[in-house]
Structure 1
Amino acid sequence: MKPPSTAVVALVLLVVVAQYAFLAAAAAGPKVIIVGAGMSGISAGKRLSEAGITDFVILEATDRIGGRIHKTKFAGVSVEMGANWVEGVNGDEMNPIWAMANGTGGLSLRTFRSDFDHLSKNTYKQEGGLYDEKLVEKIMERTDEVEESGSKLAGTLHHSGQQDMSVMAMQRLNDHMPCGPSAPMDMVVDYFQHDFEFAEPPRVTSLQNTQPLPTFNDFGDDVFFVADPRGFESVVYHVAGQYLRTDRNSGAIRDPRLKLNTVVREISYFPSGVAVRTEGGKVYRADYVVVSASLGVLQSDLIRFKPQLPSWKIVPIYQFDMAIYTKIFLKFPTRFWPEGPGTEFFLHASERRGYYPVWQQFEKQYPGSNVLLVTVTDDESRRIEQQPDSETMAEAVEVLRKMFPGKDVPDATQILVPRWWSNRFFKGSFSNWPIGVNRYEYDLIRAPVGRVYFTGEHTSEKYNGYVHGAYLSGIDSADILINCAKKKMCKYNVKGKQY
C-alpha cells in the first residue's frame, strides 16, 4: 500500500484543525442562536430561559421585535399593519394570547368584540345601493348549511389526508357553487366566509383541516379587534420582558442578547454545532440554532443552508401555502358611510372576486378619525402591492362612490398599504393549510435537522396562521431542543403518514 501523499496529509490536517477551531469558537459563543424576534422566536427564548438555558442570542433582521405583529401611526391613530384580532375567545379553554392581552397578563389592551351578525343589512351592489336583507340572509343561511355539511364530511375522512379535498370540492358535492358561475352577492358572501379568514380561496384550502377550525372549537367563536395605542405588539413585549432586560422608564429592550438589524443569510450545521453568517459578514457560532423565519422566507433564498436541507424537509416546506392578507387604511376629510349599531362591517359585491370586498368603519375604535379599512387577499394583494398607492386609492374611492351613489364621497387624503409579500423578511402574511397534507407534513416541517430547529406559526399543527399558534409553537419547538440539550433525548420521531 502506498503512503499518503503530502497533499492528502495536509488536507486531512486542515480539516482537523478547522474542526478544532470551530469547536473552540463555539465554546466561546452562545449555546443557542434564535433567528427571528417575532412571536414564536420570542416565545422560544422565554421557554429556553425557564429551562435554565439563558446563553443565547436573538438575531432579528428588522429594527424591532414582533414580526408580523406591527403597529404604525396613520391619520393620527395607531393601527395594526399585520395581526389585528385575538381570535378564539369566550370558549371552554383560555386562548393564551387573550390571557395576556385582557386576562391574568395584566396588559388590559383596548379591544372591541367584532360583530359580524349584521352583514345581511350591509351588503352593497356593485353599482350601488343595498341588496335586499332577506335575500342576503337566505344566501348566508345556505352557506352555513353547506359549512355544517362540510364539517361532518371532514370528520369521516381518513386522517392520512389521502381522502382530503378542497373546500370548493365539498361545496360542489353540496350543489353549492359560489365560486363558479354565480352572482356577485354569492361570491362576496363566500369570500367573507373563506378568503377573509384564510387569505386564499376555497379551491386551494383543505376541507379536512379547516372545518371545523380548532381555534374556534377550542377557544370560542368570538374575535376581538385590538385598537390600543401600545399596539398588539405589546403582547410580544410582554413575553420578552419576562426574560430580556428592559429599560424601566421606556420599556425598551436593552438586553445585549437581542441583535436588531441583523440579517441572517447563511446557516451552516455540523455534527458539533452551527455557524450563522449575517449579511454584514459576521459569523455567530453556537451549539444549536432555532429558525423562526416565516414560511415565505423558508420558501425564498434569503437564508441558505449548508449543507442543503434534506429532501424530506424541503418538500413539505413547499407543500404549504404562504398566503397574503392586506389591510388597506384610507383617511377621508368627512364621513359619508353609515354609522350606528350594526354598521361596523359592510360588503361590496363585485363580479370580480375579491375586488375591495370587506370594509370596516371605526366609529367605536377610533372615533372622529374618519378612517376606513378595506381588506384584500391573494392575487389582489399581489396586484396592489405592485402598483402605486395613488392608483389603489383611486380604485378604492371609485368603489365607494359606486356603493354610495347618493352621497358626496370625497377623495381620500391618506392611504396605508402594507406590503408583506414584497418584504423579503416576511414574503407573505401567514400560512394556509392546502389539500392532502396532515400532521405528518407538519411534523416534518417542525422536525430538527441535526442541530437546526424550526418554529413559527407554520409549525403549529392545530393553530397555524394565528398569533396563538406562533406563541405555542415557540414553546413546543423550544421543548424539543431542551430535551436534546439537557436530557440528551435528541432523536425526534415522526410517525408515518398513515398514523
Structure 2
Amino acid sequence: MWNCFIIVLSLFCITAHSQTEDKSVIIIGSGLSGYAAARRLIENGFTDIKILEALDRTGGRIYSVPFSDGFVDLGAQWCHGQTGNIIYEMTSPHFAFGSTPFETVDPYFRFSDGSLPEQDIYVKLYGEGYKIIHSIDRVTTPNVPFGDLFMQKFNAVLATTTYQNINPEVVKYVKAELVKNVMGFFGANSWNDISPKVNNEEEKAGGDQHCTWKKQGFQTFINYLTKKSPNPSENLNIDAKVILNKKVTNIQYNKDDAAGQVTVNCADGTSYTATHVIVTPSLGYLKAHYKTLFTPALSGPKAVEIESRGVGNLGKFFMKFATPFWVLDNEPFLGIEGMWLDADKQAAIADGREWLLGIVAVYGVESFPDLLEVFLAGDYVGTFENTDTEKVIADITWWLEKFAPYMKPVPRPLAVARTKWMTHEFFLGSYSYPSMAEEQNNVRTSDLAAPIINIDEKPILLFAGEATDSKFPSMAHGAVNSGFRAATEIIEYYQA
C-alpha cells in the first residue's frame, strides 16, 4: 500500500513538473521546416518561441519574387508529387495547381549548329534511358554509383536487336542528355557521386511530379502552413515570432546539466537562451560551419552524415520578353534540349562561355507565355553565379541563336531574374542528394535528424530541414515533415 502511494506521488510530481517547467524554444531559420516546427508548437500550447533568421526576409529556399504579371520561384519551383506530399495535401483543397508536362511531352532535341536530328530515334532512345533512370530508384545494389549502374543497364538495351545497329553518334548525344537530366534532378557535380542504394531507401510522392503554382509562386503554401489561408481568422501569426538579420555564430549546450539552457550567440553581439533549440540551416551551410557552430562540437554519426551527404548545385535564369518569339505556327512549346557538337563546345570554352555547358534545358514557364527559363546543374553553376548579368544575357542570346537559329534575332529581354544559391553565404548549395559517401560510411539523414538530449532525457538540440528527413530528403515536403517531426519530439517529452 505504502509503495503504491509513493509511486502515485512520484507520477504526480513528474506530471506537475512537466506542466510548470520552462518550455522556451528557439528556431534557427524561417524556411519551411522552421515555420512547420513553429506551427506545431503553437498548436500544442507553446508560446515562448523565437525564430532567428539570418536574412532580411523569411522563407529560406522558398523565394517567390515579383516578375512579369505574377511571381517566379528562385528557390523551390514545383510541388513534386500529390499522393503522400503534405504540401499538396494541405493546399489542393483550396488551390488549383497547374502542371509542367515534362513527363508527358517528348523533349525537343537540337544540335549546337542549329540542325535538327531525327527526332523519332532520339526520343525513342531517350525514353529507354528515362525508364532506366526510374528503375534505378528501386535498386539496392551496394557500392555501385548511379552512373555506372545506368551504363550497365543502358548498354544491355543497346545490345538488343532493336538498337544493335544504331548510329554511335546518336548514342553519344542521347547519353549526354540523360546525364544532364540526372544532374538536373540531383544537382550533383558527377552522377557517379550519387548512390542508387541510398536513393532507393528514400521515397517519392506519387502523381504529377511537376505541379506548378501558376502565377502565385511557392510562397502560396506558406500562407497555408501558417494558416493565413484559407481562413485568415485562424492565422497563427508566426511571422511575429521571427527576428530578421540574426546570423547565428555559435550554439552552446550542455548535455550534463539537466536544468541548463541552450545559448545562441549572434554576429551582432546579441544572445538568446531557451530550453530547446531547433536548428534548420541548409546542409551546405552546416558543412561549412558545423565544426565551429556548436559548442561542444558535433561528433559521431551526426558529423559524419554532415560530411557525407551530397549538396546539389542548381541555377535558374528567367527572362521576360514582349512576345513568345520561340513558338512556331502556334504549336505548343515546352523547351529545347541542346546537344553540343564537339567543335561548338570547344568554341564556347575558348570564348569564355563555358558555363553554358551546364544548361540542362531552356523551356517555357507554365502560366507565363512571355517567359523563358534557363535551367542549369552541376559544375558550371558556380561559374554562372559569378558571371555578370549582362554577360549572362549576351551568352544566353548566343546560345538561343546557335541552337535555334529560327529565333534570330533574339531580342533583349525586358526583365531578368536569377539565382545564386551555390555562392550565397547562408545556403552554399541548392538541396541535398544521396551520395556514395553516405553509403560507404553507413550514415543516413536519420543520423543528422537525431536530437541531442541531456541527462534528463530532454531534447535540447534538435535538427530539421530537408536533409534530415528520412522519407523525402531533398524535397520541400520533406522540409515540412522534418519541422513537424522536430516539434513533435519536444511535445512528446512533456507528454511522457
Q: TM-score with structure 2 length normalisation? A: 0.80
- Distance in 2, Cα, partners of 1:282 & 1:387: 36
What pairs with 1:209-248 in structure 2 (closer than 5 Å)? 209-211=198-200, 214-216=203-205, 219-229=206-216, 231-241=217-227
Task: Spell out, residue by residue over 1:95-137, the C-alpha distance to the aligned partner (whole angstroms, 9 max, x if none).
Answer: 211122322xx2x1553343443334x1111111332121212
| 1:220 partner amino acid | G
d(CA) in 2 for partners of 1:49 and 1:145?
45
Shift of 1:418: 0.9
CA apart distance, 1:247: 8.5
How far 1:256 moved relative to its partner?
Answer: 3.9
Counterpart CA distance in 1 for 2:317 and 2:246 is 29
Structure 1 equivalent of residue 244 of structure 2: 260
Unaligned runs of 5+ in 1: 1-26, 158-162, 488-499
Residue 171 (structure 1) aligned with residue 150 (structure 2) = yes
Tell me: CA distance 1:386–1:335, structure 2 relative to 1, closer, same or farther (3 Å). Answer: same
State the partner residue of 2:358: 355
- What number of residue pairs does the alignment pair up? 436
Amino acid at match of 2:36: S
2: CA distance, partners of 1:444 / 1:323? 20
* More helix by percentage: 2
Q: What secondary structure, in the 3-state scheme, does the structure 2 residue paired with 1:357 have?
A: strand
Amino acid at match of 2:56: D
**Rounded Cα–Cα distance in structure 2 between residues aligned with 1:109 and 1:259:** 33
Which of residues 286, 292, 296 is equivalent to 2:284? Answer: 296
- Structure 1 residues 433 and 479: CA distance shift in structure 2, 3 A: same
Per-residue CA deviations over 1:62-90 (Å, capped at 9, x if unaligned) read 2332110111123444211111101112x
Structure-to-structure mapping, 1:443-454, within 5 angstroms: 443-450=446-453, 451-454=460-463
CA distance in 2, matches of 1:348, 1:320: 30
State the distance in 2 between where 1:310 and 1:166 align.
27
Q: Determine the C-alpha separation between the residues in 1 that align with 2:238 and 2:283.
A: 29
Q: Which amino acid aligns with 2:25?
A: V
1:407-442 residue CA offsets vs partner (Å, 9 max, x unmatched): 323243333221011211211111011025368422
Q: Return the letter of the residue paired with 1:349.
A: M
SS at match of 1:301: helix
Q: For residues 362-400 of structure 1, give each alpha carbon's deviation from its aligned partner in whole angstroms, at most 9, with x where no partner exists.
A: 3x5123x3x210100121111111111112111111110
- CA gap of 1:124–1:99, structure 2 versus 1, over 3 A, is same
SS at match of 2:359: coil
CA distance in 1, matches of 2:495, 2:390: 56
Residue matched to 1:403: 403
TM-score, normalised via structure 1 length: 0.79
Aligned residue identity for 2:143:
D
| Closer/same/farther in 2, CA of residues 97 and 391 from structure 1, 3 Å limit | same
Distance 1:403 1:37, change over 3 A: same
Q: CA deviation at 1:446?
A: 0.6
Structure 2 unaligned segments of length 5 or more: list them. 1-19, 158-167, 346-355, 454-459
The alpha-carbon distance between structure 1 residues 476 and 254, as it changes in their structure 2 partners (threshold 3 A), is: closer
| CA apart distance, 1:300 | 1.7
Contact 1:322–1:429 (CA under 8 A) maintained in structure 2: yes
Quote the residue 1:338 is aligned against.
327
Matches within 5 A, 1:362-373: 362=365, 364-367=366-369, 369=370, 371-373=371-373
Amino acid at match of 2:463: F
Q: Which residue of 2 aligns with 1:415?
A: 416
Decide whether aligned partners of structure 1 residues 222 and 306 sit closer, same or farther in structure 2, where only a CA change above 3 A counts. Answer: closer
Q: RMSD of the alignment, in Å?
A: 3.1
Percent identity of paired positions between Structure 1 and Structure 2 = 23
Shift in alpha-carbon separation, 1:142–1:253, aligned structure 2, 3 A: same
Which amino acid in the other structure matches residue 44 of structure 1? A
Q: Is the 8 A contact 1:38 1:68 kept in 2?
A: yes
Secondary structure of 2:392 counterpart: helix
- After superposition, the Cα gap between the structure-2 partners of 1:149 and 1:309, relative to the gap in structure 1 and judged at 3 Å, is closer
Contact 2:39 2:236 in 1 (8 A): no
Does residue 441 in structure 1 map to residue 465 in structure 2?
A: no
Do 2:215 and 2:368's aligned partners in 1 also have CA atoms closer than 8 Å? no
Give the direction of change, closer, same or farther, for the CA distance of 1:417–1:40 in structure 2 (3 Å limit).
same
* 2:264 is aligned with 1:276: yes
CA distance in 2, matches of 1:118, 1:175: 22
1:78 counterpart residue number: 71
Residue matched to 1:306: 295
Counterpart in the other structure of 1:128: 114
Kindly indicate whether the alpha-carbon contact (under 8 Å) linking 1:65 and 1:236 is maintained by their aligned counterparts in 2. no
**Alpha-carbon distance in structure 1 between the residues aligned to 2:410 and 2:331:** 24
- 1:125-168 CA-to-partner distances (Å, cap 9, x unmatched) read 1111332121212322331453365355x14x3xxxxx232111
Per-residue deviation, residues 194-238 of structure 1 (Å, max 9, x unmatched)? 11211124211111233596214xx22442122233x21121232
Matches of 2:471 and 2:425 in 1, distance apart? 27
Separation in 1, partners of 2:22, 2:385: 41
Alpha-carbon shift at residue 481 of structure 1 (Å): 2.5
> Is this contact kept in 1: 2:39–2:238, CA < 8 A?
no
2:360–2:377 CA contact under 8 A, matched in 1:
no
**Distance (Å, rounded) in 1 between the aligned partners of 2:471 and 2:332:** 32
Query: What does residue 464 of structure 2 align with?
Result: 455
Decide whether aligned partners of structure 1 residues 400 and 212 sit closer, same or farther in structure 2, where only a CA change above 3 A counts: farther
Q: Is the 8 A contact 2:446 2:469 kept in 1?
A: no
Is 2:494 the counterpart of 1:477? no
Contact 1:110 1:228 in 2 (8 A): no
Question: 2 CA distance for matches of 1:72 and 1:140?
Answer: 34
